[in-house]
Every structure is written in C-alpha cells, then in structure tokens.
Amino acid sequence: DGPISVKLCGDAIAGVVRIDGIGDPIPFAVGPGKNSVGDLERMRAVVVHGSVAAGGGFQVEGDGVAAELQVTDGPTAEITVSIRKATETELRRFAALRALQEAEQKKTYNDLHAQIAKARTRGVEQVHIDRAEKLLKTLKPDPGTYLCKQTMKDQMRWDKITERSEEPESVTLCSATEGCSCNEPFRGNEQLEITTG
C-alpha cells in the first residue's frame, strides 16, 4: 500500500533488490564515495517491467508496473521502494529499450540504426543509446540498403513515371477567331516582325 523503506549503515554495502514481477534484480551500493541504486548508479531509479507491444507511432499496447527506488546520501542510507502502475510514457520507454537491446543482440546494422533512432524519440536513457551507437560503429551496412550511382540511374527513368498512350495526340484549336494564325501548321523560316505604335 505504501512505500517500503530499509535503513542501511556500513562502510561498503552492495547488493540487489528483488521485486516479484519486476524481472531482473536491481543493484544498490552504500558506502564511501556515492550511494547509488539501479543500473545507472544514480540516487534514484525507476524500473519498469511489463507485457507491452509497440504500436504505430507512439502507441503501446499492454500494461506494466514501475518500481521507484531512492537512496539517501550519507553513511547511514535509507532505500525507499514504491511500486505502482507504469505510465504510458514509461511503457513506451520500456518497449523502446527492450527493442534496442534485441537489436544489439542481432548485430545487424539496419535494425540497430532504426532502434537507436526510435529509442531517442521515446526517451531511453542516453547511456543505453551510447552503448548501442558504439556497437553500431563496429557493424557495416548491407550494400543493398544504400543508393549508388547505378541504382539511381536505373530507378530514375522517365518511362517509369509516365504513361505512354497508344492514342494519337489530340489538338485543341484556338477559338479566338475562325482564321487565327495559331491554328495554321508550323512553317519553317518564319520571320518575327515587331512594330511599335
């Protein structure tokens, strides 16, 4: 119902917090230097777990839970854990992080490149994006995925974008006057005479 808190005191205490339904254990450390909780070694962490599927755009389908963990500063630290329903933003971030991690395991350039872009727009922590970008630099794109001069030449042919009609061209005559010179066929070597007046 309310937050659960645990007081820790010691020179160097490190461990994990296990929460049913959250998945992986959450690391913490108390001692000289800096107290921290979570993978990113900060004093506050929100860990989300759930069953989600990314929909179109920024939509996610499913639900999940969020565990908010906070550790106080100093040699006598207190870790507070609150469990609640995850927000839609947190679920989007969780789904994007999971997709990014799956792309890292596949190690294909195109998948990883796309998931890095998606992770950025969905607010995934920069440390995860940096790790994925470091891996991306070691991969090479598939040669068939980028344009070269010959591919562009092949694809940008006029006959691919226009329709050829078998019917003869229709000509609409000028209707200004019955004997308008616009309607006469073209004659070579015509002269243009300009008069002022």
Residue 1 has pLDDT above 60, yes or no: no
- Read off the pLDDT band of 74 (50, 70, 90): confident
Region 164-190: mean pLDDT is 71
Give the model confidence (pLDDT) of 100-150 as tens digits: 999 999 999 989 999 999 999 999 999 999 999 999 999 988 766 666 777
Check residue 160 and give its pLDDT: 65
Q: Hey, which of 34-48, 72-86, 114-128, 135-149 has the most confident mean pLDDT? A: 114-128
Mean pLDDT (the chain, rounded): 81
Where do the DSSP E strands lie in 10-153?
A: 13-17, 26-30, 36-37, 44-54, 60-71, 76-85
Residue 64's alpha-carbon distances to 5, 70, 87, 134, in angstroms, are: 22, 20, 8, 30
Alpha-carbon span 66 to 116, nearest angstrom: 23
Alpha-carbon span 34 to 38, nearest angstrom: 13
Alpha-carbon span 37 to 9, nearest angstrom: 15
Give the model confidence (pLDDT) of 53-65 as tens digits: 766 556 677 888 8
Beta bridge partners of 47: 67
> Where are the alpha helices (H) located in 86-125, listed in sequence order?
88-106, 109-121
Tokens of 45: 């962490």
Interacting residues of 76 by C-beta distance below 8 A, sequence separation 6+:
7, 8, 9
Check residue 134 and give its pLDDT: 95
- Strand order in 36-37's β-sheet? 13-17, 26-30, 36-37
Alpha-carbon span 137 to 145, nearest angstrom: 17
- Read off the pLDDT band of 75 (50, 70, 90): confident
Check residue 196 and give its pLDDT: 81
**Residue 69 and residue 17 in contact, taking contact as beta carbons nearer than 8 Å:** yes
Percent of the chain exceeding pLDDT 70 equals: 79
- Read off the pLDDT band of 79 (50, 70, 90): confident
Check residue 14 and give its pLDDT: 84
**Within a 13 Å sphere around the CA of 119, how many CA atoms are in the beta-carbon half?**
25
Greater confidence (185 vs 81) lies with 81
Check residue 34 and give its pLDDT: 82
- Read off the pLDDT band of 157 (50, 70, 90): confident
Give the model confidence (pLDDT) of 18-29 as tens digits: 888 777 888 888
Residue 40 has pLDDT above 80, yes or no: no
Alpha-carbon span 76 to 11, nearest angstrom: 9
